[in-house]
Chains A and B, each alone.
Chain A
């Protein structure tokens, strides 16, 4: 067999739970952001979870257990996939508002990994806007949730951290080592 020309990265796992003190009835969207040399070959690269409510069992965590399963092929480790999470939920008036954005790279090393992502939301530009956005339920949102996976242009935004999401990944790679990339297992 000829030498491989691409390497594969299979990621499965789940968005396990989130911790958003003070918020309830949240759901979570995920999508993968990857470089130009990456192509998803199987699985979903975007998804939206069910709404989950807090329970008396564990009043701080909101459990989604939302599975992710995707396989990429790539020719270049540049632009390694990142999972972008955005969490939404109703506010006081029942408007659907964003509760957090966050992103994390898919781990390089094959095996099982657990990541806790600190989430954040963009801040209103002024107090007045904060007030009105609270009233109208149209809080500032990123035009594209994927901006949290890139560094460009972030300097113009102001964000506030808000909650955590725990994601577990099971990573399998194929031919990565053969192509000369050492992930230091």
Chain B
């Protein structure tokens, strides 16, 4: 309402007196009546109170005044113009009181009437409304007129307003009424009621004055520093003091001043100012870099404000220094590149003569250049001038004594000396240059004579300039004399200086001597402490030596020698060389063939040049042939129209030979010309280039990068690189109006936005600049880097180092400068701490600590012992320990093997940390279409088929395993062909004995003397009572005892498994070296009752076990997981991969082997291992003419080489194949090495032999050897030396997968793979799929095997020594195993056995038992002997002990038992040892 008020207010005032329109009068009167009543009551109360008030306070005048005054602001605030106001005011003022008066009276009347009657009578109303008087009528009229102009609605509205107004007014009136009532009758004048006053208006200045008391407007003027600083303080600028004060945020100076002024007004405002008198401010936190809001997703549901809007690309205004902005495009600029030609200073087609000619030309150029400069003459002149000056001043000094001249004499002299030195050097250079020119020319001449043709038109003339002998000599002598004089002077000066020094030194010495003497005297008197005296004497000073006086003769000699060397002799003519190209070149027809070829080659060659602008080819010259003098003339000018300032200009020189081949010889960078260089004025410049290409030619041409010699003996070799000069010029073109067409220079320097330049070094100088220290330093200086900014610290330090020149640039780059700060302990402490060391070693996965659990928290809890083993191992890595090996060679080998193992394991550990997807994620392979179809078909299959098929389960890796969680299950099913006991009575019968069991067995039966009616016999009715004992990790389990030679047990034995160090990871499991021993024993029951009387009361039997044989299964066979690595010819490898894939896809269970890994860890194609090799001659000599026996012997020899599975040595990594010589050196290897060696021997013996890759029992996947003998295939087991016919059912080889010869691989494609059921005819590709076939012929792979094997002769003496040592060790062990009982040794028996063992070796353990048994029985008649020989290849002692232990001979607990143990070692070539151990227990018969 108030907003609308002003305009309405004017009207209301005018219409105030308007009587209500009749139409509305009724309602208003009705309303009025209600209000009236209310008012009446109010009024009654009020008047009462007022009366009482007025009675109390007689001066009620102000009330009336107040009433009028209240009206005034209304007028004052009126929107009427000032004129109206002034005009109407007096009028209003005069009118108002009367009006009020009247109205009041009317009101009073009205009120009175209403008092009587609620509704006024019609007459009253009419009177009230029509009663008109004075000016109001006019006003009414104007109001009515106005109203007519208004619409009806407005009218109503206004009326409503009016009524409201009226009400208000009435309220006010009511108050007035009583006032009027009082006043009216008192009869006061108008003046008393209203006081007229001018508008109370303050002058502006006054207002300002007053405002000043409250307001403060800070000044915009700078505050003097003194005000900001505490008293008596000078502002201090930290920046000047070298401290870093960051960059302050930008604030305009005026704002800053305002703020300062404002702050200064405050109490303690000075606290806000820093030492430098500026307001304290933190550095600007805003980093100026472009960012862009992250865009989360382009999917639907994007907020509309994040939606991307396509905008057409706009060319950015230049941020690059080389770009002209779109705004200031000034048309094309032009760069003219003039390439005039090319001269080769060396070219592969250069003949020797050319080389020399080039050299000569170069020297001559040098000569000319020197001559032009003529430094010698210049210096000589200078020297003369100086000398004369000195002389003059000397003379002058005598006369005038000018001090200035005096002073300058030494300076002159200094200068003379220096000049002389320079001149001498120059002279020497001149002379040597001349000499060289002549020498080279002589070389050319002699070469031309020698080769009898001329290639170059070079000719050197030496012009002699005759000189006047006498004057020349005179000058020469004078020169020398002058020099001598000067030198003498110099020497004298020096002498004097030295003399001076000498004198002072001498004086010192003398004084010292004196004091010494006096001291001595004193001491002699007192005779105290001679030692100190001696001490003093020790320090005796040396008497200074007086300097030598220079010898004038010596000096003269020196000077003359030097002059001789570098100066022309007096009287000698001056030689002036002149090089001309006037010589004639021998025509091609007269040249020898090689030269003709060279010339033809040159003719074939041509060259052209590409012009690259900003690394883009813009044009190229025509291809011009290289002339015979190796010059190419182009003479082309290229006009480059450019917009931008060039970044780089480059020429590429190409040479073409013949038609096709084009080679890039070199690249030359042209400097971008200065803006002053314009076309027409630019000189041609020669820019050198050279190429490092190596070119060898088969003709006279000397080639490039090839060393050759001019000497006949080939000494003094030289090597030249193709090089030359391009003569070209680059200039700016001049436009039509003579305006150079150059891009604006301003861009060049100020084009880069300076902010960017300051921020980023890389942006302004490029990354390459960062390595260029000079550039970097320059940039740093230009960019005005704050050297104190910590951000720049590294850069600044770098620049400081490089520019100071003191320290050289470090040749390392420190990645972590702050490492020191982050070290949580010092290195020292780190090294001292055992705990840290333990943690570190564990982290490095050192074998001993890899699985170390619970590293103790406290230092004290870690014992030194932990490291002992490790340290010992590290120390003894190179020390060969022969204690454990008894044999030096094997110790060396073991050490070597250990090293190989370590390095392979290290490599493996690294590889283990490198994961591929299949290591982490199990994912099904993409099935073929067929399988996919089957998969779809499966959906329709019944969920629970009646005949469910077993599904292969996913491999689950061991998780959280601990000791006892894993058990090894051994199923013992049955045995065949168990040897039976030979009853004594049936001694004459032929025993049924298997010749096939591959462990030798022997069981001595009870003595013949035992009576036939002995109770033993009853037990012995059974031929044999075998049982099986399985031992693993020294845990033993046995089956029940069965009976007969073909027992059937069907028992499952459970053995707990413990992993080394409690580590059950894959590679750890594979390195388990333990073997599963399966021993077969014969249980023999003896009647223990020694007294026949007791027989009736009970049965006492003693159980004896007799070892029959054993099978060893390495744990690695049980747990084996293959893992491959890859590296041979890529093509071959791919073919191999393909072949393997093809084969395995058909027969997934058959292993296809094409590549293997050698000891270096490289993949090698398998056929490379097969090569005929010579077996030891000794073996072949042993059995002449019997190839079969020889073959057996060789197989036995191979089998005697100890067995060491790769999976043990290289746990979990791969199968490593060593070559046969490596194998023989290491004397250890697994089936593959044995098989390869055997196969190679057979091939060497002229047999047809192949390597079989297959599966055997008990080895698992293995390698055997197949030979073809008399149209029969024989399978050899290389690790035992046994052989089997193809159809032998006892052949341990179960499956045949591949055959390998020296030139091919055949994969078994037959339905079956057991050797008995397949054909070995490899010529049929249907049965055997060959690797190399017609489509892929054998590429002739070279064998990795050596040409020939050499064998060391066996050392018999060493073998004997080893034999006795092993015997002793084993005896000690047996005694150790019987701790509670005494162990007696039967010497007689031992010696018998010892004699018997060589016999066994001779016969390879066959068919000697009967004789042996008979002999034993004869010699040890009254003993019951139970024992057996064990045969093993020798590797180390531990397996021998293990084997003896597993026979359990020592477990016998008869009280009077005796033992016998004999060892025999047979040495084969190359230190292969066959070891026989005979253990027996003897029980004396009663």
Task: State A38–B853 Cα separation when bound (angstroms).
Answer: 8
Q: Is the CB of A6 within 8 A of B857?
A: yes
- Give the segment of A14-22, A50-58, A136-144 that binds chain B: A136-144
Interface residues of A in 47-96 (CB under 8 A from B): 74-76, 78, 93
Which residues of B lie under 8 Å from residue A157 when comparing CB positions? 917, 920-921
Q: Is the CB of B856 within 8 A of A5?
A: yes
Q: Which listed residue (B852, B914, B924, B957) contacts A129, Cβ 8 A?
A: B924
Q: Is the CB of A133 within 8 A of B924?
A: yes
Which residues of A lie under 8 Å from residue B861 when comparing CB positions? 5
Which residues of A lie under 8 Å from residue B935 when comparing CB positions? 132, 135-136
Q: Which listed residue (B855, B915, B932) contacts A156, Cβ 8 A?
A: B915
A-B contacts, 10 listed (Cβ < 8 Å) = A36-B855, A45-B960, A46-B960, A125-B923, A129-B923, A136-B924, A140-B921, A143-B920, A143-B957, A153-B920
Instruction: Output the least CB separation between B855 and chain A (Å).
Output: 5
Q: Is the CB of B851 within 8 A of A154?
A: no
When C-beta atoms are compared, the residue in chain A nearest to B939 turns out to be A93
Encoded as 1 (CB less than 8 Å from any A CB) or 0, chain B from 846 to 861 comes to 0000011111111001
Task: State A157–B922 Cα separation when bound (angstroms).
Answer: 11
Q: Which listed residue (A31, A75, A125) contacts B854, Cβ 8 A?
A: A75
With contacts A31-B959, A144-B959, A146-B959 taken as known, whether A74 is within 8 angstroms of B923 at the C-beta atoms is no
Q: Is the CB of A37 within 8 A of B923?
A: no
Which residues of A lie under 8 Å from residue B914 when comparing CB positions? 153
User: In this assembly, does A185 line the interface, its C-beta being within 8 Å of a C-beta of chain B?
Assistant: no
Q: Is the CB of B926 within 8 A of A144?
A: no
Instruction: Output the least CB separation between A168 and chain B (Å).
Output: 24
Which residues of B lie under 8 Å from residue A45 when comparing CB positions? 960
Instruction: Output the least CB separation between A72 and chain B (Å).
Output: 11
Which residues of B lie under 8 Å from residue A74 when comparing CB positions? 854
With contacts A133-B924, A136-B924 taken as known, whether A125 is within 8 angstroms of B917 at the C-beta atoms is yes
With contacts A37-B855, A75-B855, A144-B959 taken as known, whether A133 is within 8 angstroms of B923 at the C-beta atoms is yes
Interface residues of B in 956-981 (CB under 8 A from A): 957, 959-960
Interface residues of B in 66-95 (CB under 8 A from A): none
The 3 closest A-B pairs by CB, nearest first: A153-B915, A140-B923, A75-B857
With contacts A37-B855, A144-B959 taken as known, whether A156 is within 8 angstroms of B926 at the C-beta atoms is no
When C-beta atoms are compared, the residue in chain A nearest to B955 turns out to be A143
Q: Is the CB of B858 within 8 A of A5?
A: yes
When C-beta atoms are compared, the residue in chain B nearest to A32 turns out to be B960
Q: A122-B921, A141-B923 known; 12 other A-B pairs, CB under 8 Å?
A: A5-B861, A6-B854, A37-B854, A75-B856, A125-B917, A129-B924, A132-B926, A140-B921, A140-B922, A142-B921, A144-B957, A156-B919
User: In this assembly, does B150 line the interface, its C-beta being within 8 Å of a C-beta of chain A?
Assistant: no
Instruction: Output the least CB separation between B935 and chain A (Å).
Output: 6
Task: State A143–B916 Cα separation when bound (angstroms).
Answer: 12
Which residues of B lie under 8 Å from residue A133 when comparing CB positions? 923-924
When C-beta atoms are compared, the residue in chain A nearest to B932 turns out to be A132
Which residues of A lie under 8 Å from residue B923 when comparing CB positions? 122, 124-125, 129, 133, 140-141
User: In this assembly, does A179 line the interface, its C-beta being within 8 Å of a C-beta of chain B?
Assistant: yes
Which residues of B lie under 8 Å from residue A76 when comparing CB positions? 839, 855, 857
User: In this assembly, does B757 line the interface, its C-beta being within 8 Å of a C-beta of chain A?
Assistant: no
Q: Which listed residue (B854, B913, B915) contacts A39, Cβ 8 A?
A: B854
Encoded as 1 (CB less than 8 Å from any B CB) or 0, chain A from 26 to 47 comes to 0000010000111100000110
Task: State A135–B931 Cα separation when bound (angstroms).
Answer: 12
Instruction: Output the least CB separation between B925 and chain A (Å).
Output: 8
Encoded as 1 (CB less than 8 Å from any A CB) or 0, chain B from 191 to 216 comes to 00000000000000000000000000
Interface residues of A in 84-141 (CB under 8 A from B): 93, 122, 124-126, 128-129, 132-133, 135-136, 138, 140-141
With contacts A132-B926, A138-B924 taken as known, whether A179 is within 8 angstroms of B917 at the C-beta atoms is no
Tell me which of A38, A75, A141 has the highest count of chain B C-beta atoms within 10 A of its own C-beta. Answer: A75
Which residues of A lie under 8 Å from residue B920 when comparing CB positions? 122, 142-143, 147, 153-154, 156-157
Chain B contact surface mostly: loop
Give chain B's interface residues, CB within 8 Å of chain A. 839, 842, 851-858, 861, 913-917, 919-924, 926-927, 932, 935-936, 939, 957, 959-960
Which residues of A lie under 8 Å from residue B851 when comparing CB positions? 36
With contacts A132-B932, A135-B936, A153-B915 taken as known, whether A39 is within 8 angstroms of B853 at the C-beta atoms is yes
Q: Which listed residue (A5, A126, A129) contacts B857, Cβ 8 A?
A: A5
Q: Is the CB of B926 within 8 A of A129?
A: yes
User: In this assembly, does A182 line the interface, its C-beta being within 8 Å of a C-beta of chain B?
Assistant: no
Instruction: Output the least CB separation between A13 and chain B (Å).
Output: 20
Q: Which listed residue (B839, B842, B919, B957) contacts A153, Cβ 8 A?
A: B919
Which residues of A lie under 8 Å from residue B921 when comparing CB positions? 122, 140-143, 157
When C-beta atoms are compared, the residue in chain B nearest to A74 turns out to be B854
Which residues of A lie under 8 Å from residue B853 when comparing CB positions? 36-37, 39
Task: State A45–B961 Cα separation when bound (angstroms).
Answer: 12
With contacts A31-B959, A75-B857, A129-B926 taken as known, whether A36 is within 8 angstroms of B919 at the C-beta atoms is no
Q: Which listed residue (B842, B924, B957) contacts A132, Cβ 8 A?
A: B924
Instruction: Output the least CB separation between A103 and chain B (Å).
Output: 14
When C-beta atoms are compared, the residue in chain B nearest to A152 turns out to be B913
Q: Is the CB of A36 within 8 A of B960?
A: no
Instruction: Output the least CB separation between A67 and chain B (Å).
Output: 19
Instruction: Output the least CB separation between B41 and chain A (Å).
Output: 69
Q: Is the CB of B852 within 8 A of A36?
A: yes
Instruction: Output the least CB separation between B311 and chain A (Å).
Output: 34
Q: Is the CB of B856 within 8 A of A36?
A: no
Which residues of A lie under 8 Å from residue B854 when comparing CB positions? 6, 36-39, 74-75
Task: State A157–B915 Cα separation when bound (angstroms).
Answer: 10
Which residues of B lie under 8 Å from residue A93 when comparing CB positions? 939
Instruction: Output the least CB separation between A132 and chain B (Å).
Output: 6
Which residues of B lie under 8 Å from residue A126 when comparing CB positions? 926
Which residues of A lie under 8 Å from residue B939 when comparing CB positions? 93
When C-beta atoms are compared, the residue in chain A nearest to B916 turns out to be A156
Instruction: Output the least CB separation between B977 and chain A (Å).
Output: 46
Instruction: Output the least CB separation between B1100 and chain A (Å).
Output: 53
Task: State A5–B862 Cα separation when bound (angstroms).
Answer: 12
Which residues of B lie under 8 Å from residue A143 when comparing CB positions? 919-922, 957
Which residues of A lie under 8 Å from residue B927 when comparing CB positions? 132, 136
Which residues of B lie under 8 Å from residue A6 when comparing CB positions? 854, 857
Which residues of A lie under 8 Å from residue B916 when comparing CB positions? 156
Which residues of A lie under 8 Å from residue B856 when comparing CB positions? 5, 75
Q: Which listed residue (B839, B926, B960) contacts A128, Cβ 8 A?
A: B926
Instruction: Output the least CB separation between B224 and chain A (Å).
Output: 52
When C-beta atoms are compared, the residue in chain A nearest to B853 turns out to be A36
When C-beta atoms are compared, the residue in chain B nearest to A153 turns out to be B915
Task: State A129–B918 Cα separation when bound (angstroms).
Answer: 14
Task: State A29–B857 Cα separation when bound (angstroms).
Answer: 33
Tell me which of B851, B856, B915, B921 has the highest count of chain A C-beta atoms within 10 A of its own C-beta. Answer: B921
Task: State A22–B852 Cα separation when bound (angstroms).
Answer: 45
Task: State A36–B1062 Cα separation when bound (angstroms).
Answer: 12
Instruction: Output the least CB separation between A82 and chain B (Å).
Output: 14
Instruction: Output the least CB separation between A52 and chain B (Å).
Output: 24
Instruction: Output the least CB separation between B431 and chain A (Å).
Output: 72
With contacts A129-B923, A136-B924 taken as known, whether A36 is within 8 angstroms of B842 at the C-beta atoms is yes
Encoded as 1 (CB less than 8 Å from any B CB) or 0, chain A from 143 to 179 comes to 1101100001110110000000000000000000001
When C-beta atoms are compared, the residue in chain A nearest to B957 turns out to be A144
Which residues of B lie under 8 Å from residue A3 when comparing CB positions? 858
When C-beta atoms are compared, the residue in chain A nearest to B849 turns out to be A36
When C-beta atoms are compared, the residue in chain B nearest to A36 turns out to be B853
Task: State A147–B920 Cα separation when bound (angstroms).
Answer: 7
Instruction: Output the least CB separation between A163 and chain B (Å).
Output: 19
Instruction: Output the least CB separation between A59 and chain B (Å).
Output: 22
Task: State A135–B935 Cα separation when bound (angstroms).
Answer: 8
Task: State A59–B936 Cα separation when bound (angstroms).
Answer: 33
Task: State A129–B939 Cα separation when bound (angstroms).
Answer: 18
Which residues of A lie under 8 Å from residue B959 when comparing CB positions? 31, 46, 144, 146
Tell me which of B914, B922, B939 has the highest count of chain A C-beta atoms within 10 A of its own C-beta. Answer: B922
When C-beta atoms are compared, the residue in chain B nearest to A38 turns out to be B854
